[in-house]
Amino acid sequence: MDRNQLTQKEKTPNFEISIERLHNKAQHWISEIEFIKIEQNFLKELLTKHIIGLCKTHNYDQAKMLLISIEHEAKLGNKLLESIKEHKINLALLLENIQLKNENKFRDNHKLLKMEVKNYIENFKYIKEQVFELVLLIMRNEKERKLLSK
């Protein structure tokens, strides 16, 4: 048998591993976004219940903008989750060899989702960093104010 000729049986394991890897990656994305949703809720709670009341005018505006950003990202995250879940179902069908003719379409969709997830995570990290910096600044200001009032 020629080395370049593979039987269908020899091709299948590589195909399944590859599609299975994409399926697992999609599940990982879902887990990441669901954890980010928890972080978003925490940051919203932190800003609304503990920080906004302590803010001066400039910081108050920044806190409000961060809350709007978190809310916007949460909505995008929900849409992204739905897209990934649909993609994961299609990959599962592909794993079962039900939709072989659409494999390239699903692989292209996977690449697009990969970029969307990466951008989503990067945007959230930036917002989280901004919230932490604002909270730290306000905590320091509160500490100074308490020390000066003694």
CATH (domain of 131): 1.20.58
> What three-state secondary structure class fits 6?
coil
Does residue 39 fall inside a structural domain?
yes
- Asked whether the CA dihedral 54, 56, 61, 66 is positive or negative, the reply is negative
Question: Residue 22 is part of which domain span?
Answer: 11-149
- Secondary structure (3-state) at 127: helix
Question: What is residue 94's predicted lDDT score, i.e. its pLDDT?
Answer: 81
pTM summary value: 0.79
User: Is 143's pLDDT higher than 50?
Assistant: yes
How much is the average pLDDT of 48-55? 78
In a domain, 1, yes or no: no
